[in-house]
Chains A and B, each alone.
Chain A
């Protein structure tokens, strides 16, 4: 019993992170048809911004975190959109996919070459103590991660549904042409999604790097799992990304404990295949119509 609780909480915590990354991914896809193959590296990078701010510029941790956030939003949000997505998106999805693959390689190699190939410790946002509940031991960190993920996503949902800008963004996602006709500043809305993604990956980075340690390879599996979470949950629904992420985290943990550990990474992939073949819109997604 204690074991099951242990696995559940650990799975939810990891799943929360997948959810955060998947939400950003989904937002980009919804509003601008951008498939960002570098999303994993986007999560790897902000931690290094913070480390550089602390190491090179000697800033205290909290200030470095804030600086890291600003840099993330500007570089991974604004500049990414301006310099990469805008020039290429008119030509269709595939060139942008290739370009983001190239971007992922570039970011990884830059960190490896200019910062180093090792793993570095990263300060945690809160206490790293453990608490024992019903025989299972959880780290406060896991609970905090889960809490922050839920809070962020709830805030996002509130923003999207409750504010005028949020509803404009949804309109842009559903039908940009009509939205434009109705006076929504579509370009600006798309920009906002990129900025939000920049902020989301920054939060995700701060949450995972204390556990993952700062290493240039952090993005590889994370990106893949985020895609899987987004698809399982429903590529066109933010709620779906959350469900997908949490489900993935929990299933992954239980599969590793009770089924083969050599094929651990196969389980999420099998779920992915099953979902795509039998319910391509994902668990919570809406069926996408094809225009003729």
Chain B
């Protein structure tokens, strides 16, 4: 057990060091991709909270990223400084998530997926059709990059560290949340909502909070996406991104803290590495996704979990609940 902890710690430390040092050896393109990875991880962390911890399937995350992005793009191109727009974006998405979740979370999982899917498409249509508000299909160009305490983040490297800092902040906040009583309530919700209810956990309230926080994180991710790409139009925020984020969370390991990080690596970096295959890279990516799901439905971290832990007897799991590693793994998640 201690060895696993030590191993995990070493892996974490080296990953952190790598993230800090890597961009020095990369061209602007590589730095851009890493920044995109960081931004998408934030959105994936939000979805992981909603899906992995609270057990709710949401296909609306792209809409929240879009709302955050448009708010930031719209305000910063009108001269507002970055910080208020970023806070405003996160809070607005939290609020929208709350309002959406209130009626939507009454229905069961697969139905929620469809409601959130419908919401995402509706939001995309609003982005596209309401030209007076969002620039419509023409989008908003020349989104400026913020300056931090007088230092501009215009250069690829500076903006990368800016994104990385936000990722660190969001990770720390989420870690604290998971460790808190709130986090344990979320896990109870996922494992067995009816039992949680019988124990006095206000499932509706907690589910709603998880959903809203997940949405808020999506908004923050969007607020960073806007100055990263510097041009916002409706195309990236359609259903495809929601599915991609879902992919990231499940591939990385839904419910594992570092799942989104790994999942975002697969979803953002892998297609880039596969690009040498020209027209075949999306096919290769799709095959990898299918194979991974077949061999390790608990994602990459689930696979790592299975490989590194010595063979133990599994405690009997409730009928119908997928054989997740039992409570003892809670400490390592």
Binding site for B on A (CB under 8 A): 35, 84, 87-88, 90-96, 98-99, 101-103, 105-106, 109-110, 112-113, 224, 227-228, 231, 262-263, 265-266, 269-270, 272-273, 276-277, 280, 288, 290-292
- A105 nearest CB neighbor, chain B only: B286
CB–CB A103/B108 < 8 A: no
CB–CB B283/A96 < 8 A: no
Residues of A within 8 A of B103 (CB): 277
Residues of B within 8 A of A280 (CB): 107-108, 111
* Minimum CB–CB distance for B326 against chain A, Å: 16
Known: A99-B289, A101-B243, A280-B107. A92 touches B322 (CB 8 A): yes
Q: Does B199 contact A (CB under 8 A)?
A: no
Stretch at the interface among B3-11, B18-26, B31-39, B112-120: B112-120
CB–CB B290/A84 < 8 A: yes
Residues of A within 8 A of B298 (CB): 91
* Minimum CB–CB distance for B314 against chain A, Å: 14
CB–CB B290/A106 < 8 A: yes
A87–B294 CA distance with the chains assembled, in angstroms: 6
CB–CB A113/B250 < 8 A: no
Binding site for A on B (CB under 8 A): 57, 103-104, 106-111, 114-115, 117-119, 121-122, 125, 129, 194, 243, 246-247, 250-251, 254, 279-280, 282-283, 285-287, 289-290, 293-294, 297-298, 319-320, 322-323
CB–CB B289/A109 < 8 A: no
CB–CB B279/A113 < 8 A: yes
Contact residues of A: prevailing secondary structure: helix
Contact residues of B: prevailing secondary structure: helix
Residues of A within 8 A of B194 (CB): 290, 292
Given A94-B57, A95-B293, A280-B107, 8 extra CB contacts under 8 A: A91-B297, A91-B298, A95-B250, A98-B289, A99-B290, A99-B294, A103-B286, A266-B125
Residues of A within 8 A of B118 (CB): 269-270, 272-273
Residues of B within 8 A of A101 (CB): 243, 246-247, 289
CB–CB B285/A262 < 8 A: no
A154–B122 CA distance with the chains assembled, in angstroms: 35
Among candidates A88, A93, A263, A292, residue contacting B129 with C-beta atoms closer than 8 Å: A263
* Minimum CB–CB distance for B239 against chain A, Å: 8
Residues of B within 8 A of A112 (CB): 279
* Minimum CB–CB distance for A106 against chain B, Å: 4
Residues of B within 8 A of A95 (CB): 250, 293, 297
Residues of A within 8 A of B121 (CB): 265-266, 269
* Minimum CB–CB distance for A76 against chain B, Å: 15
Residues of B within 8 A of A90 (CB): 322
Residues of A within 8 A of B246 (CB): 98, 101
Among candidates B57, B115, B320, residue contacting A276 with C-beta atoms closer than 8 Å: B115
Residues of B within 8 A of A224 (CB): 117
Known: A265-B121, A266-B122. A102 touches B115 (CB 8 A): no
* Minimum CB–CB distance for A239 against chain B, Å: 19
Residues of A within 8 A of B323 (CB): 91
CB–CB B293/A102 < 8 A: yes
CB–CB A277/B107 < 8 A: yes
- A263 nearest CB neighbor, chain B only: B125
* Minimum CB–CB distance for A236 against chain B, Å: 12
A101–B267 CA distance with the chains assembled, in angstroms: 13
CB–CB A113/B289 < 8 A: no
CB–CB A291/B125 < 8 A: no
A269–B287 CA distance with the chains assembled, in angstroms: 31
Known: A102-B293, A292-B194. A265 touches B125 (CB 8 A): yes
* Minimum CB–CB distance for A133 against chain B, Å: 35
* Minimum CB–CB distance for B57 against chain A, Å: 7
Residues of A within 8 A of B285 (CB): 102, 105
CB–CB B282/A103 < 8 A: no
User: What are 23 A-B interface contacts by the 8 Å CB criterion?
Assistant: A91-B322, A92-B322, A94-B57, A95-B250, A95-B297, A98-B247, A98-B289, A99-B290, A99-B293, A101-B289, A102-B247, A102-B290, A105-B283, A113-B283, A231-B111, A265-B125, A270-B122, A276-B104, A276-B107, A276-B114, A277-B107, A277-B115, A280-B107
A96–B250 CA distance with the chains assembled, in angstroms: 11
A290–B279 CA distance with the chains assembled, in angstroms: 45
A141–B169 CA distance with the chains assembled, in angstroms: 60
Q: Most chain-B Cβ atoms within 10 A of its Cβ — which of A88, A91, A94, A265?
A: A94
* Minimum CB–CB distance for B66 against chain A, Å: 16
Among candidates B115, B243, B250, B283, residue contacting A106 with C-beta atoms closer than 8 Å: B283
Residues of B within 8 A of A290 (CB): 108, 194
* Minimum CB–CB distance for A96 against chain B, Å: 7
- B118 nearest CB neighbor, chain A only: A269
